[in-house]
Amino acid sequence: MDAAVVVLLGLMVLALAVAAGGDVVRGVRTRGTPAPSLVAPPPSRPRRLVLVRHGETEWSLTGQHTGRTDVPLLDEGREQGRAVRALLEGWHFDAILVSPLGRARETLELLGRDEPVTVVEDLREWDYGDDEGRTTKEIRADRPGWTVFADGPQGGETIEQVAARARRVLRVAAEHEGDVLVVGHGHMLRVLATCWTGLDPRAGAVLHLDAATVSVLDHIREQAVIRRWNVSG
């Protein structure tokens, strides 16, 4: 079977699994799970990653690609951060990893956590190069059909470079035995989830992630899974 067809089929299975609300094991849906509830973690405590995307900014609201530009949270984004705080009640984290960018660090402050925090440079958002601040519509005026996952930004990082950073973040998280909270950015966290599950990083294209949402990466026995995805307050 052609390699491109295999990748396409894998993406289709992953999209169906996440949309259906079940667990994802190496891109294959397992038994369906109840509606997400993050008020209290389950009693067994294998090491998990809990991902939080930062709250809304002016550029995320308008769909502008926001990589290295340090755009602050909107008032709405701050309210969203406080709502995420309630979702994380009952969790204890061995460590918190956060992007150095202000919108992620401010979101973390709104969560009101008291666990140890490490600022991780590799958690920065995708460097969009010449496409920084542009919307997909604007980019497609020059490059029809463009997507960041399939084509990458002009003059910025390749998806392979972003995935390499994501794998380094996972190695930092693996230094801790318990659960780890990761506060960062939409595209970076989507790539991080694919690296956790061993998928091609381009599979992040089907993992839509809204501002101020919680996702949980877990294990079922030895299998890396996406336990919850894009849960909002």
Catalytic residues: 54, 125
Locate 40 and state its tokens: 């209290």
**What is 119-162 written as a DSSP string?**
E-GGGSPP--GGGTT--HHHHHHHSTT--HHHH--TTS--HHHH
Locate 145 and state its tokens: 């059909």
Spatial neighbors of 149 by CB under 8 A, at least 6 apart, are: 159, 201, 202, 204, 205
Considering only the C-alpha atoms of the chain, give the largest distance between any 2 of them, rounded to a whole number of Å.
52
Q: What are phi and psi of 229, to 5 degrees?
A: -145, 130
The shares of helix, strand and coil residues in the chain, as percent rounded to the nearest 5, are: 40, 20, 40
Q: Are 155 and 143 in contact (CB under 8 A)?
A: no
> What H or E segment, with its residue span, contains residue 52?
strand 49-53
How many other CB atoms are found less than 10 A from the CB of residue 175? 10
